[in-house]
Every structure is written in structure tokens, then in C-alpha cells.
Amino acid sequence: MGRYAEVHSQSINDPEGFWGKAAEEIDWYKKWDKVLDGSNAPFYRWFVGGELNTCYNAVDRHVERGRADQPAIIYDSPVTNTVRKITYGEFQDLTAKFGGALRSLGVEKGDRVIIYMPMVPEALVAMLGCARIGAIHSVVFGGFAPNELATRINDAKPKVIVSASCGIEGAKVIPYKPMLDGAIDQAEHKVDGTIVMQRPQAEAPLKPGFDHDWTEITGKAEPADCVPVAATDPLYILYTSGTTGNPKGIVRDNGGHAVAMKYTMKNFYNCDPGEVFWAASDVGWVVGHSYIVYAPLLHGATTVVFEGKPVGTPDAGTFWRVISQHKIPTMFTAPTAFRAIKREDPNAELMKSYDLSHFRALFLAGERSDPDTIKWAENNLKVPVIDHWWQTETAWVIAGNPLGTELFPVKYGSACKPGFGWDIHAVGPDGHDVPAGDVGSLVAKLPMPPGTLMTLWQADDRCRKAYFDEFPGFYMTGDAGFVDEDGYVHVMTRVDDVINVAGHRLSTGGMEEILSAHPDVAEAAVIGAADELKGQMPVGFIVLKSGVSKSHSDVCAECVKMVREQIGAVAAFKTCTVVDRLPKTRSGKVLRGTMKKIADSEEFKMPATIDDPVILDEIREALQKVGYAGVKAA
Ligand code: COA
Ligand code: AMP
């Protein structure tokens, strides 16, 4: 039996023994009474009775054990021409002061704090400052509009919001404060105040008594110690797109999360304490939570906070510059970033001027890695390029090539083997396994390993319905795919309305709700059409109400503006087209899957239940006018 087979079968057959041992790598104030509690299935709980503090494990213990002078964070910001290192010792002081600042505003254990920040080290200080005092953070990605932020404020009901005066997106300075103010005004839940980090690129006016300047409030704060919390207390809520415009608040625990994060660093990524680990993502996404913040720090590694883009800051060689300058052996990003680099520098000329001899492995996730991108990266970097599959719900890898345990031959288009503690099946509508190689719904047998979602914030029922009801005894991932005869998992597509734009997860249902609210629109459909750079791009179809005299292009432009204002720039909703009718089944279900196939010039079977097949020709024509359905390829 190979090393992976041995470890994986232990993790499945004896989860308590396996994760109980892994938990010894974490420092506990009080040891758990039970490793796994299944008494309230499907809501499993890990390390019940245990007490720990995630910030202590990620920061303080490293200071106590000789890492005080090692950088915890390297902040590399080509957009501000800054490289700043923060040692573990300094980081401990910063989180203690920030925890104290939160306390001075009345934040205590169990209270929520929303963090709406760009990629600056202060975002990590704020997250760990919350963890230090047992407050629950909820980071909202900076590219979301005030309306999305307001939805999260209403759901999480935070006492305080932490933000910065602006973000910097390539050459653009984006003031955050007006968006923050807009969201606070719009939200029904009223927060007690804000803490704002002023950035010289665009300082923000602060309302006395409500907005607190970061430097001032932390300057006078009493440093806070780490407080013990229960292993099962929430560490954070992270909202993600679901099947409607209402985001789902994924709740993460402290204990199981710390154990799983620490375990993956060596056993999956093959990273050692003291090494530099770089996840080029954003703290607003789960990849950022797990592999910019928690896992590298729990492991005593150095993490990189990169404020830039793969291209244009200043060029397509910026990743190679960062890897070489900070001697980074392992990096993690989304395939779209590599597609952007490949498009600008197809022969990787810019790579040649940097010393990458210490670079060991590239990990890709967030969307399916297309074989061309993997091969390009392999040929140029000459190191293992590892696609791995995971989700906001899971916090870490569901399937991937476990470099730190055993490296398997690559099968292009597959995310490789199930991760530790993951028992993955492709099932049919009856819940039974489909034959190896056949596409089914990808599900995980319960219990899932530690660190995975506890529930949805104050919505156990919604959680059950979304993930556990359809296939009792299993977690439904929402992805479809197959497991082949060698046990490799292939993730093909979503089973719901979620699309993936530049590694960002978005709900087409949410966009449709916005389009349908336009006064001239009778009904709307949004699909994710294939895009060479971003993987998918949303394309909107609107049917106008009768008697609308406005020009089609004006209505479309207004719709584009509405989505940008209500979801945010991150939705990248730029294409909208007017059609006379939407293709539907006889029972009235819009045939989005067929529309997508037409957009992508894929063959499709005429749906047997289609109401009127002629509409599909009209859809094809409309798509061709906006550059899809074979027009681009021609
Ligand atoms: N704050 C404010 N606005 C933001 C933002 C932030 N944190 N992040 C993105 N935006 C804006 C962008 O400025 C852009 O606005 P625009 O329409 O005015 O140009 C829009 O949101 C879309 O951004 P993005 O998806 O990043 O597209 P891009 O065209 O600027 O860059 C890539 C394309 C491929 C270079 C970029 O998406 C990328 O680097 N992706 C890496 C993948 C990644 O980090 N995935 C996370 C999960 S692992
Ligand atoms: P998010 O929750 O934003 O991380 O998005 C999770 C979704 O992204 C998954 O459900 C998949 O649809 C998709 N995804 C992430 N990683 C991969 C991968 N390696 N291969 C295929 N799809 C992926």
C-alpha cells in the first residue's frame, strides 16, 4: 500500500484516531472530551469540550518558541511600491493592540466584526485581533458593492466594521469609505462604529465618535491577551454565493479548523515551518482565509500579502519577481491568473530574468484548471503543478495531488485523489454510486473532516436543505463530475446557478433578481459563458415589457450599471442583450443549460420538453451579436 493509501484509509476508517493525533500539533488550554461528536448529525462537531485560541496558535506560541524575529508577513505591494516585513514578535503586539481597540468599542467574545479591506497586512491584524478576543470576524471582499455589504451587515449583525480609506486596483485608487458609508446607511442593523485605516492614496473624512482612526485607537488601546474559546465556538463567518441572491454565511469553528489547517501545510503542500508560503488570492475569499492567513501562520511559516495583479503591476513578470525576491518555494493561485500571464507573455520571456531555482511547486484552485494552462506552467516552471478542488464550505482541499504525502502522475483535467478524511462519491439522482467514469453529483460521505462548515449563520434549516437533505448521510458539494477507475476525481460543472468568474464565485440567480427589478424588464436569464481569460463571464438576456419605447442599448446599459452598483465590479457583468422570449420547457423552466451550450458553441441535444425550438435560433443570433456562439472563434 502506498503512503497516500495508508494515510487516507486511516483518515476514513478511524477519523477520531487520525484527527486526534493531528490535534496534538495545536496548543490547547483544555484538551477535548471527544474528538468527534455525531449526536446531532448532519451537524458534526470536532474536539468537543476542548478549549484553545486560534490567535495564540497562529502567533503567540511561535514568539514563545523562538520565531519572534522571523517574518510572519511579507507585504509586497507593487501598486504602492512597498515591501514591508512584520515579524511574529511585531505581529503579536499588533494583534494585541487591535484586540484591545475592539474591546474599547465594546466588542467581546461572540460579537461579530465585519472586515472590509484591501490586501494590506492590517486586514490580517484585524482578523487575528478578533480571534484573539474570541470575536467572530466576517471578511467581505473589497470588490463587492455597498448593497452586498449591507446584506452581510443585516445577517451577521456586527458591532463594529473595520475598513480602510481606499483600495488600489492596478492603477486605480478605489475609495472604500463612501461604499462603507453607503452600506451602513442602507443596512437595517445599526453598527456601533467603525475603525478605518487611513491610506495616503485617498484619506477619508471620519465622523467623530463613530469612525475611529486605526492608528489613534490602536495607539491608546490596552493590549489584549488571547482568551480561551471552545473548540466549537465560531472563528469566522464567510459569505458565499448560493442559489439565490441571498449569500450563505458559512460558519467555521476554532478547533477543527486549526487542526486541519496545520495538518495540510506539511502533508498536502509540503511546506515546512519557517518557509515562505504565498497564496496569491485575496483575504476576502476562502483561499485567502485559509492559505494567506490561518494555515501558514498556524504552521509558523511566513505568509505573503501581495497587493497587485498577475499582469499590469507592472507587468506579467511580477509573480516571478515576488517568488525570486522572497525565495518562495510554494505558491498557490487561481488558473485565471496564469491565463492572464500566458496571454501577455506566451513564451514566458519575463521569467528568464529571475532566479526561480528554489521554487518547488505551484498549486492551482478556485476553478477547473484547463490542461493548456497546467502544461504551460509545467513547461516553463519545471516543477509539479497541482490542481486541487475545494470550496468556501470546506476551507481546504477536497481532492488534490498530496505532494507532502505522495505525488501521483497528473491526469489533465482531474483534481486527483480525495483529500484526507474525504470519502468522495459520484452519485445519481437515487443517491447510489454511478459507475466509475460516469458523471454524477459529487458528494462526500459524512462526517466530513474537521474545519469544514459547521452550519450557515443562524440558519440550520437552510444549511440542511442546501447541503444535506438531498442525499441523506452525504454532503452535497454542488459540483458534478466523476471518479475514474484509478480513484481520480474529475470536477466538471456546477449543478446549481453558481458561476465562476476569474476564480470568483457568483450567483446568476442574484444577477437575474437585479435585472428583473429594472422597470422595463419583464423577465431575465443570466448564464456563465466560457471565457478564455476568466473561465466564465456572465451574459444577461432580458425580455422587455410590452410598450417599452426606450432603445434596447439604453436598457441594457442601465442593467449593466445596476448589477455593478448592486453586486459590485467583481461580478464583471458587462454583456446584456434583449431577446423577444426566453427558451423554456413546457412547464416554464428556463433552459439556461442549453443557452450556455449555444454560447459556447457546444453540441446539445434538443430538450424533449422544449416549448418552442425556434427560440433557440433567436438566442443564437442574439449571442452572436455580442460575440458568442462561434463568433469569437471564427
Ligand atoms: N476592491 C475593489 N474592486 C475590485 C477588487 C477589490 N478588492 N477586486 C477586483 N475589483 C474590481 C476590478 O478593479 C475590476 O473592475 P473593473 O470592471 O472596473 O475593471 C473588477 O472588480 C473585476 O476584477 P477582476 O476579476 O480581478 O478582473 P481584472 O480584469 O481586474 O483582472 C485577473 C483579471 C485574471 C488578472 C484577476 O481576476 C486575477 O488576478 N485573478 C486572480 C484570481 C484570484 O485571486 N482568485 C481568487 C480565488 S483563488
Ligand atoms: P469557492 O467557494 O469560491 O471557493 O468556489 C468553489 C467552487 O469553485 C467549487 O464548488 C467548484 O465549482 C469550483 N472549483 C474550485 N476549485 C476547483 C477545481 N480545482 N476544479 C474544478 N472546480 C473547482
> pLDDT > 90: what percent of the chain?
92
pLDDT at 632 over 70: no
Distances (CA, A) of 479 to 298, 498, 519: 30, 10, 35
The string of pLDDT tens digits covering residues 294-350 is 999 999 999 999 999 999 999 999 999 999 999 999 999 999 999 999 999 999 999
Long-range contacts of 346-354 (CB under 8 A, 24+ apart): 348/376, 348/380, 350/315, 350/316, 350/317, 350/320, 351/317, 351/320, 351/380, 351/381, 353/317, 353/320, 354/317, 354/320, 354/321, 354/323, 354/324
- Mean pLDDT over residues 81-110, rounded? 98
Three-state SS for 290-348 is HHHHHHHHHCCCEEEEECCCCCCCCCCCHHHHHHHHCCCCEEEECHHHHHHHHHHCCCC
Residue of minimum CA distance from atom 9 in ligand 2: 391
- Between CA 442 and CA 456 the distance in angstroms is 20
The confidence score (pLDDT) of residue 259 equals 98
Ligand 1 centroid to 506 CA: how many Å?
13
Higher pLDDT, residue 584 or 76: 76
Domains and CATH numbers, the chain: 3-308+388-481 (3.40.50.12780), 502-625 (3.30.300.30)
Q: Record the pTM.
A: 0.94
Tell me, using a 6 A CB cutoff, whether residue 335 lines ligand 1.
no
The residue to which cell 493561485 is assigned: 333
How far is the CA of 527 from the CAs of 48, 376, 497, 605, 615, in angstroms?
A: 43, 29, 8, 18, 16
For residue 375, pLDDT beyond 60: yes
DSSP letters for 45-108: EEEET-EE-HHIIIIIHHIIIIITTSEEEEEEETTTTEEEEEEHHHHHHHHHHHHHHHHHTT--
Residue with cell 439522482: 429
CA gyration radius for the chain? 24
Confidence of residue 48 (pLDDT cuts 50, 70, 90): very high
pLDDT at 631 over 80: no
**What's the mean pLDDT in 587-608?**
89
The angle formed by the CA atoms of residues 398, 288 and 214, to the nearest 5 degrees, is 155
Q: What is the mean pLDDT of residues 580-599?
A: 90
The yes-or-no verdict on residue 633 having pLDDT over 80 is: no
Separation between Cα atoms, residue 503 and residue 279, nearest integer Å: 13
Expressed in angstroms and rounded, the spacing between residue 365 Cα and the centre of ligand 2 is: 7
Dihedral angle over CA of 297, 122, 178, 285, nearest 10: -10
pLDDT for 129 equals 98
Where does the pLDDT of residue 245 fall: very low under 50, low under 70, confident under 90, or very high at 90 and above? low
Question: What is the tens place of the pLDDT at every residue in 145-170?
Answer: 999 999 999 999 999 999 999 999 99
Whether residue 481 is predicted with pLDDT greater than 70 in this model: the reply is yes
Going from the Cα of 572 to the center of ligand 1, the distance in angstroms, rounded, reads: 9
262 Cβ inside 6 Å of ligand 2 = no
Q: What percent of the chain has pLDDT over 70?
A: 99
* CA-312 nearest atom, ligand 1: 35
Q: How far away, in angstroms, is 389 Cα from ligand 2 center?
A: 6
- The Cβ of residue 192 has, within 10 Å, a number of other Cβ atoms equal to 13
pLDDT of residue 611: 81
Given this model, what pLDDT does residue 244 score? 64
pLDDT at 118 over 50: yes
Q: Which of 163, 291, 570, 575 to mutate to test the pocket of ligand 1 (most atoms within 8 A of CB)?
A: 570
Find the mean pLDDT for residues 123-152: 97
pLDDT band at 589 (very low <50, low <70, confident <90, very high): confident
d(CA 498, CA 466): 13
Distance, CA of 208 to CA of 557 (rounded, Å): 39
pLDDT value, residue 333: 96
Report whether pLDDT(475) > 90: yes
Strands 498-501 and 504-507: antiparallel
Average model confidence (pLDDT) across the chain: 96
When pLDDT is cut at 50, 70 and 90, the band that residue 243 belongs to is low
Nearest-ligand number for the alpha carbon of 501: 1
pLDDT (0 to 100) of residue 634: 37
Contact 223, 93 (CB under 8 A): yes
Is pLDDT at 510 greater than 60 in this prediction?
Answer: yes
Three cell numbers written together for 394: 470546506
Kindly indicate the confidence band of residue 612, based on its pLDDT and cuts at 50, 70 and 90: confident
Residue with cell 497587485: 308
Contacts of 497 (CB under 8 A, 6+ apart): 243, 507, 508, 509, 592
Confidence category of residue 610, pLDDT binned at 50, 70, 90: confident
CA of 496 to the centre of ligand 2 (A): 13
Rounded CA gap, 301 and 275, in Å?
A: 5
Residue 26 pLDDT exceeds 90: yes
Angstrom distances, CA of residue 216 to CA of 25, 197, 198, 201, 414:
37, 10, 11, 19, 51
233 lines ligand 2 (CB under 6 A): no
